[in-house]
Amino acid sequence: MKCAPSLVDSHGRTISYLRISVTDRCDLRCRYCMSEQMTFLPRAAVLSLEEIALIAERFIARGIRKIRLTGGEPLVRRDVEQLVHRLGRHVGHGLDELTMTTNGNRLAEHAGALVDAGMRRINVSLDTRDPDLFRYITRHGDVARVIGGIFAARDAGLRVKINMVALKGQNDGEIASMLGWCRDEGLDLTVIETMPLGAIDEDRVDRFMPLTAVMDDLRASFPLVRDTHNSGGPARYWRIDGTDTRLGLISPLTGNFCSTCNRVRLTTEGVLYTCLGHDDQVDLKTILRTDGISGLDAALDSAMRTKPVAHDFDIAASAPAVFRHMSVTGG
């Protein structure tokens, strides 16, 4: 693959991490993420898997070292394993890592194929292990099915990290027990502050829990030491002393990490967003379909010039920071 100049934005940040939403559809309806009644994109508006691969490969040629496949729920996309296999061939040949974020609902049936394609690590969204609360948060999910998928992925050779959104009044009393469970099962845990993205059916202010309070509680229960691990994303890491279990914190509101942002996001309809909290965008699908691969480099350079210095998240604002849902941009 022909090399080209690395992607560097106008604030001097090198962009090395691409998140790709392969679908806006999901088989769950988490309350902080989606409305109960969602309107999804028609098939004609969505990038084909071949188009996703072509765009991703141009990003790799421009210095992207890590790709994460997201959704919606990526494993509901038909034939997504073909994309995983194609991108997995670049691991060790320009790409350092190919990973995925999934809700785990279909993970048991796909875990072996993901490992065969070159994945070594995966994130699973799991906000509670309580069956009734899980069914409430997701509106209809079965937590036993998700936990079964987590164990299948671990046993297939994937290092599994649990992503847990801290929700005041719902799962805030379970974060310590989740970390203890992760320690016992050989998993990692990342706790995330809820973000004001998309119009939902609830008031996010009522559910927002700052991670400063979460850490105070966890330090009282676990011997946490700082860890130098860097996953390539925004999390800051600790480790339970004497174990391999890491605790990550992603705090976009109480601990802004924009100064070191190295990420851009490609939506399932081929729109490139350079910031999760802004609407600046470049339509790579139209450029690819009109000009072919040759048109992508100029578009990527243009996107670098417009990447904002920081997001404007405000959990107490009367309207979300952006009206597109996380499932559209890529979780």
User: What residues form DSSP beta bridges with 70?
Assistant: 21
Give the span between the Cα atoms of 61 and 17, in whole angstroms.
13
Beta bridge partners of 250: 192
Look at residue 67 in the predicted model and tell me its pLDDT: 97
- Classified by CATH at the fold level, domain 17-329 comes out as TIM Barrel (3.20.20)
A 10 A CB-CB count for 184 gives 10
Q: Which amino acid is at 89?
A: R
Q: Is 164 a known ligand-binding residue?
A: no
- According to the annotation, is 19 in a ligand binding site? yes
128 annotated among ligand-binding-site residues: no
88 is in an annotated binding site: no
pLDDT attached to residue 297: 96
Structure tokens at 26: 């999901």
With cut-offs at 50, 70 and 90, classify the pLDDT of residue 318. Answer: very low
Is 72 annotated as ligand-binding? yes
Instruction: Say if residue 183 carries a ligand binding annotation.
Output: no
Spatial contact of 234 and 190, defined as CB atoms under 8 Å apart: no
pLDDT digits (tens, 9 = 90+) for 220-238: 999 999 999 888 778 899 9
Asked whether the predicted pLDDT for residue 199 surpasses 70, the reply is no
264 is in an annotated binding site: yes
pTM recorded for the entire structure: 0.88
Is 3 known as a binding-site position?
no
Q: Given this model, what pLDDT does residue 312 score? A: 59
265 assigned ligand-binding residue? yes
Closest CA to 1 of 82, 84, 57, 67: 57
Residue 32 · residue 167 · CB < 8 Å: yes
- CA-based nearest residue to 180, from 232, 220, 124, 132: 220
Task: Determine the pLDDT at residue 251.
Answer: 81
Q: How many CA atoms lie within 13 A of 315 on its CB side?
A: 18
**Total Cβ atoms within 10 A of residue 24:** 25
| Helices (H), ranges, the chain | 49-61, 80-88, 107-116, 131-138, 143-156, 175-185, 204-207, 211-219, 284-291, 296-306, 326-329
**pLDDT band, very low/low/confident/very high, at 290 (cuts 50, 70, 90):** very high
Indicate the average pLDDT of the chain.
88
Is 161 annotated as belonging to a binding site?
yes
Cβ-contact 29, 36 below 8 angstroms:
yes
Where are the chain's structural domains? 17-329
Residue 182 annotated as part of some ligand binding site: no
Question: What pLDDT score was predicted for residue 269?
Answer: 95
Those residues whose C-beta lies under 8 Å from the C-beta of residue 295, and which sit 6 or more positions away, are: 287, 288
**What are the tens digits of pLDDT across the range 48-103?**
999 999 999 999 999 999 999 999 999 999 999 999 999 999 999 999 999 999 99
Predicted pLDDT of residue 253: 61
Q: For the chain, first and last CA: distance in Å?
A: 29
For residues 24 and 322, the model is more confident at: 24
**What confidence score (pLDDT) does residue 310 get?**
72
pLDDT at position 1 is 46
Q: Are 82 and 116 in contact (CB under 8 A)?
A: no
Q: Which of 30, 16, 7 is nearest to 198 (CA)?
A: 30
- Which residues is 225 bridged to in the sheet? 239
pLDDT at residue 164, rounded to an integer? 95
B/e letters for 202-215, b = 16+ CB within 10 Å, e = fewer, are eebeebbbbbeebb
